[in-house]
Structure 1
Amino acid sequence: PDVLAPLKLHYLRWILFPIDGVTYFMYQGIFDTDFDKYTEDAVALFGAAGVRTVFENLEGFPMDWQTNPEAFVKFVREHQCPSFMEYGEYPFVSADEIKKALNVKSALSNMLDQMQ
């Protein structure tokens, strides 16, 4: 998880599902930055960390994605299906703020436990 921290992620999900005997792939992600920033950061991060991606197994995915982030963005945009509705329990709270709040909660809990 630490290697992905710069992406400011809340949630990622990879799904394989069949339709009429054909397997389809769906990727869902919720992150704090805009799409262009997220994809640029992801390509840079994966390239620097030597991470390969599940996307490489998709038909038509650009094999030069690590050196050609524009091709990655183009591929994703061409295959993107916009959502018609989204919901966020905490829409104006970043992933970093959530992590900090959980750390404060843990520290307070530990302090109270030690006081008993």
Structure 2
Amino acid sequence: MDITPQAVVIPKETDHLEQGKYGPVFPRTPACYGFTIIADVKPGRAEAIRNHGHTLAKALEGDPHLLAPLKLHYLRWVLFDDDTRFMYQGIFDTDFDKYTEDAVALFSRAGVSTAFENLEGFPEDWKTNPDAFIRFVREHHCPSFIEYGEYPYVTADEIKKALRIKSSLSEMLDQLQ
């Protein structure tokens, strides 16, 4: 496995990209897949977004594998411009179509709301209308134009496996001393 750091420039024009169910399938990059959403916060709803962050963190304390079906590497939520705008960044191992379908299914099944409900234009029927959810995400997606990976094209599962092996090896070496 080559672990030489790599970068990929993502084209501005997407007409030539394979079209998935919900639009262009952006290429897998050294950072895997992901997207960034920037949207306006409904007036007075920034604190609800922050509270939702606490709710999600608490849910993950209760079930650390709650978001496992999404094959996530990282999520980042940012409120900016005096709490009037919200940025969501997610890096994951599946393409856009699969990630968004899995997210709608996961949150609907778990009966969990989303911080996105506090954003202007987010569809109220998102749990029963995944197409509206996906349309919102696509309309607010700000594609990156370059992505870099220090350990390129490595999945979250591969990283976790390597860390388990490292831990087991360290434990074995400690026992030999």
* Residue 23 (structure 1) shift: 1.6
Unaligned runs of 5+ in 2: 1-63
| 1:3 has 2:66 as partner | yes
Q: How many residues align?
A: 114
Aligned residue among 28, 31, 40 for 2:101: 40
- The secondary structure found in structure 1 opposite 2:102 is helix
Query: Where has structure 1 moved over 4 Å in runs of 4 or more?
Result: none
Aligned to 2:24: none
Distance 1:41 1:81 in 2: 21
- The two structures, once aligned, show a CA RMSD in angstroms of 1.2
Distance 2:71 2:118 in 1: 25
| 1:58 has 2:116 as partner | no
TM alignment of 1:76-87, pairs within 5 A: 76-87=137-148
TM-score, structure 2 normalization: 0.62
Aligned to 1:26: 87
Deviations along 1:20-58, one digit per CA (max 9) or x if unpaired, are x57211111111110011000011011111221100100
TM-score, structure 1 normalization: 0.92
- Per residue, is there more helix in 1 or in 2? 1
Distance 1:30 1:104 in 2: 24
Q: Compare relative contact order (CA 8 Å, sep 6+) and give the higher one, 1 or 2.
A: 2
Distance 1:65 1:22 in 2: 24
Identity %: 78
